[in-house]
């Protein structure tokens, strides 16, 4: 008898059929005991199903065939978790009047439980024959014990391989999504934003009405903000999804000064509400990634503009002193709540989720990771009058690749 089985039972039966040693095990059992039918059965609380069988008596059970569970001795084995061995049913006080031998016409019977590694009952390794057989001896018991353990081992191994294959397929799919995602960020979004900013620059150089100039300025400022969001999100994606952020080191303080001034100039073009004061005093050359330091500075300036008091100056201090490089950005404004201080450098954290200028909440996180890559650190000091974010790093430190976590 066959019925439509749940997928989990179909998988169990399939896994047994994938164990190449099973036919040999069943054949050895038959040859060594004289039994002419042997099988591995999947036994649950309501089903007895043939997984694999060797049938020399035309008992008629093939893979997937079922017996009514209550008509089998395997049901009792499942309940008591103990093997059953019968040399001759007619001479067995316990089984001579049992309904199962009478129903299926056997005189000798042996069945050992199969347990999974976690202790879960799986089914049985069993054999029957219409004739008596000498089964209840150490050699046969040891043989069945060995084979049930071997079957259990193979089942667990197959399941682990299947889970590994599933994981690999999922990782492959995620990897493909990652590459697509990073490609979209790096090309399909970056390029249009760059083109938009370039068009805004062209418009601003033309003799246009004042309202058109204001609109062009808005377009340009928006494109800068979008570029910053894309850069931060791209860095976050690379760090979390595979590639990390690599630093390109150079030793040129004049180039760094020029870059920081350029960042300040760009910020001024998109925000005229905050006077920007920058003091740069670099006495020493040191290794760093110029573009990453520029990105860090841009993130800190953007954060100060978003959260600083309107029309109040933003001060930047960049110095090398006592073997350390430091970059500090200070803005006026209300104090950051103490309960939020510990989360400032976590990804996607914003101090004001209702502020439409709050962004993605990645700027400070990316900045802190850039600091870590330079063997440095980010610190924040916030009072009722002002807030300062400060990056410091030893100027002779060995610089590492960022590993975003």
Domains in the chain with CATH codes:
7-136 (3.30.450.40), 160-244 (1.10.287), 245-405 (3.30.565.10)
Residue 387 has pLDDT above 60, yes or no: yes
Mean pLDDT, to the nearest integer, of 321-331?
95
For residue 361, name the pLDDT band (cuts at 50, 70, 90): confident
Question: What is the reported pLDDT for 397?
Answer: 47
Q: For the whole prediction, is pTM greater than 0.95?
A: no
Q: Where are the alpha helices (DSSP H) in 242-349?
A: 253-270, 290-307, 338-341
Question: What is the reported pLDDT for 287?
Answer: 93
Structure tokens at 146: 């060995």
For residue 210, name the pLDDT band (cuts at 50, 70, 90): confident
- For residue 60, give every residue at least 6 positions away whose Cβ sits within 8 Å of its Cβ, in sequence order, or none: none
* Bridge partners, residue 112, by sequence: 125
For residue 356, name the pLDDT band (cuts at 50, 70, 90): very low
pLDDT digits (tens, 9 = 90+) for 369-382: 899 989 999 999 99
Mean pLDDT score of the chain? 85
Contact (CB, 8 A) for 263 and 303: no
Question: What is the reported pLDDT for 360?
Answer: 61
What's the rounded Cα separation, in Å, for the pair 199 and 218?
12
For residue 398, name the pLDDT band (cuts at 50, 70, 90): very low
More confident site: 220 or 90: 90
For residue 173, name the pLDDT band (cuts at 50, 70, 90): confident
Place of tokens 């019977």: 109
Q: Which of 75-79, 156-160, 218-222 has the highest mean pLDDT?
A: 75-79
Q: What is the DSSP letter of 119?
A: S
Mean pLDDT, to the nearest integer, of 217-244?
67
Question: What is the reported pLDDT for 355?
Answer: 46
Long-range Cβ contact pairs of 230-234 (< 8 A, separation 24 or more): 230/185, 230/189, 230/190, 230/193, 231/295, 232/299, 232/360, 232/362, 232/363, 232/365, 232/366, 233/185, 233/360, 233/362, 234/182, 234/185, 234/186
pLDDT digits (tens, 9 = 90+) for 83-128: 999 999 999 999 999 999 999 999 999 999 999 988 999 999 999 9
Share of the chain above pLDDT 70, in %: 86
Question: What is the reported pLDDT for 81?
Answer: 93
Question: What is the reported pLDDT for 179?
Answer: 66
Question: What is the reported pLDDT for 28?
Answer: 93
What DSSP element (H or E) covers 318? strand 314-321
Question: What is the reported pLDDT for 122?
Answer: 96
Residue 9 has pLDDT above 60, yes or no: yes
């Amino acid at each position: 008898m066959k019925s439509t089985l749940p997928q989990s039972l179909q998988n169990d039966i399939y896994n047994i059929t994938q164990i190449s040693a099973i036919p040999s095990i069943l054949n050895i059992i038959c040859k060594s005991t004289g039994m002419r039918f042997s099988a591995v059965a999947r036994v649950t609380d309501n089903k007895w199903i043939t997984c694999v069988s060797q049938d020399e008596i035309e008992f008629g059970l093939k893979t997937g065939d079922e017996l009514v569970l209550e008509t089998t001795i395997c049901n009792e084995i499942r309940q008591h978790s103990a093997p059953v061995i019968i040399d001759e049913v007619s001479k067995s006080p316990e089984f001579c009047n049992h309904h199962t031998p009478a129903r299926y016409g056997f005189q000798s019977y042996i069945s050992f439980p199969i347990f999974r590694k976690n202790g879960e009952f799986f089914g049985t390794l069993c054999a029957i024959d219409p004739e008596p057989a000498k089964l209840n001896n150490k050699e046969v018991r040891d043989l069945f014990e060995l084979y049930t353990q071997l079957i259990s081992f193979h089942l667990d191994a197959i399941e682990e391989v299947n889970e590994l294959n599933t994981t690999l397929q999922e990782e492959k799919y995620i990897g493909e999504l990652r590459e697509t995602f990073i490609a979209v960020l790096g090309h399909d979004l970056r390029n249009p934003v760059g083109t938009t900013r370039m068009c805004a620059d062209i418009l601003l150089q033309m003799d246009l009405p004042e309202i058109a100039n204001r609109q062009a300025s808005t377009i340009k400022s928006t494109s800068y903000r979008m570029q910053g969001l894309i850069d931060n999100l791209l860095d976050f994606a690379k760090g979390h999804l595979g590639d990390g952020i690599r630093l390109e080191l150079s030793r040129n303080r004049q180039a760094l000064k020029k870059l920081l001034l350029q960042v300040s100039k760009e910020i001024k073009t998109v925000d005229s509400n905050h006077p920007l004061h920058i003091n740069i005093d670099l006495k020493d050359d040191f290794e760093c990634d110029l573009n990453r330091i520029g990105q860090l500075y841009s993130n800190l300036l953007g954060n100060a503009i978003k959260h600083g008091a309107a029309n109040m100056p933003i001060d930047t201090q960049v110095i090398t002193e006592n073997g350390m490089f430091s970059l500090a950005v200070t803005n006026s404004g209300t104090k950051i709540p103490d309960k939020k201080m510990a989360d400032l450098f976590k990804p996607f954290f914003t101090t004001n989720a209702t502020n439409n200028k709050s962004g993605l909440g990645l700027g400070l996180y990316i900045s802190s990771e850039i600091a870590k890559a330079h063997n440095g650190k980010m610190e924040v000091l916030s009072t009722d009058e002002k807030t300062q974010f400060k990056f410091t790093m030893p100027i002779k430190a060995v610089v590492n690749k960022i590993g975003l976590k």
